[in-house]
Amino acid sequence: MASIAAISSGFRFKPGDAFKAFSLLIAWIATTSILGSTALKGFLQSTSLLVGVLTLSVAFQKLGRVRSLRIIRRIILVINAFSLVSYWALPQLSRFRNWDLSIGARLNGLTMHPNVLAISAVLLAIISFELNANKRLSGQNLAITLILVLAVLALTQSRTSILALIITMIFLYLSRGKERIILTVPVVSFFGFLASLVMIFPETMAAFTRSGDVSELVTLTGRTVVWDYSWKLIDKSPLLGYGYGSTWYIFNEAANFLSLYTHGYIFPHSHNLYIQLMLNGGYPALALFFVFIFVSLRACILYKSPFSFALIIMYISFSFSEAGGFFMYYDFYLMPLGLAIAELGYRQAFARKLKASSRRRLIRVNPAKTHRRIARA
């Protein structure tokens, strides 16, 4: 509704290349949904992803990137702060249930799932770092925000989100100066050491589990079983898949088998972005996603946007064990990708506007050199 109101009021939205590539992906998935088992429901859910990205893109171009990021940061900040307080104030509503439906120790807060809240916390940290780098957020506010983020991540116990935060923060730090590139050697060596330690002493993996059982990590809490079953389904329908949101139904059909490895819980999705895309729209959906990533990364380089690059890295980092938002309506899972698309669209529109004005002055301008002016806009 916000997008329609802005466009109908005379605002001229200029979609970027990343937005066009994402629209093509959603168009294919929506089509396969109509042809598949989810029909109208899958069509509406899949198109909600495009509407969410469109809303962010329109906001960036109409309000400006800094103002839009500030608004988004405040919304996420309120959600995380209230969720953190409710952990002790409203434990029955804000804590994730255990397998036996008893009140657990993981925080889910207002998002109703720990992993979703954890992703919003990581996104809050990245946006805060970007605003601080552009001198639009004080160091004191940044420090307070990071304390909140770390507290939320500790209570949600989302390991993939913590990993995504570490990888993204390392990239953001290294991208801020050429002299920091030399730090990649010790960083890579450190993670190599941890990997070697786990391979030589497998029992050390128990320190990263919630239950103390190493098998929790070996099977990724039942995910590997779901992945194996998903591949069998993909082989039966490799071109069209089963439609958006189809995993709600096709996994229930195998509930007796899957529940043996998931403590009776039936996953609503495949817990893997790439497998989920193929279940939604077959191999063409996965191919269109890779085209979208290529177009987006190319735009990141062309318009000098480390912020968008970091958001894409964050999204890919946690999507190996999550569906990346491609199973329900638009939510925080897809927010990093939506922000990256909006940011790239804003920078591309700014570069086009600058190029058009330079033609009138008969001066040639390189869009890649306008990133500093864009950051201040």
Q: In a 10 Å sphere around its CB, with 0-12 CB exposed, 13-18 middle and 19+ buried, how is residue 8 labelled?
A: exposed
Per-residue pLDDT tens over the stretch 284-336: 999 999 999 999 999 999 998 999 999 999 999 888 888 888 988 888 899 99
Q: Mapping DSSP to helix (H, G, I), strand (E, B) and coil, where does residue 371 land?
A: helix
In the chain, where the domains are located: 26-376
Q: How far apart are CA 328 and CA 42, in angstroms?
A: 9
Question: Longest C-alpha distance within the chain, in Å?
Answer: 71
pLDDT at 107: 93
What distance, in Å, lies between the first and last C-alpha atoms of the chain? 25
Q: How far apart are CA 342 and CA 350, in angstroms?
A: 12
Residues in the chain where the model's pLDDT stays below 50: 1, 5, 8, 198-200, 202, 205, 214-220, 362-363
Please tell me the pTM assigned to this model. 0.84
Q: How far apart are CA 181 and CA 178, in angstroms?
A: 6
The alpha-helical segments, DSSP class H, found in 90-158 are 91-94, 114-133, 139-156
Q: State the sign of the Cα–Cα–Cα–Cα dihedral 58, 345, 315, 233.
A: positive
Q: How far apart are CA 72 and CA 56, in angstroms?
A: 10
The amino acid sitting at 94 is S
* Contact present, 285 and 32 (Cβ < 8 Å): yes
pLDDT at 101: 74
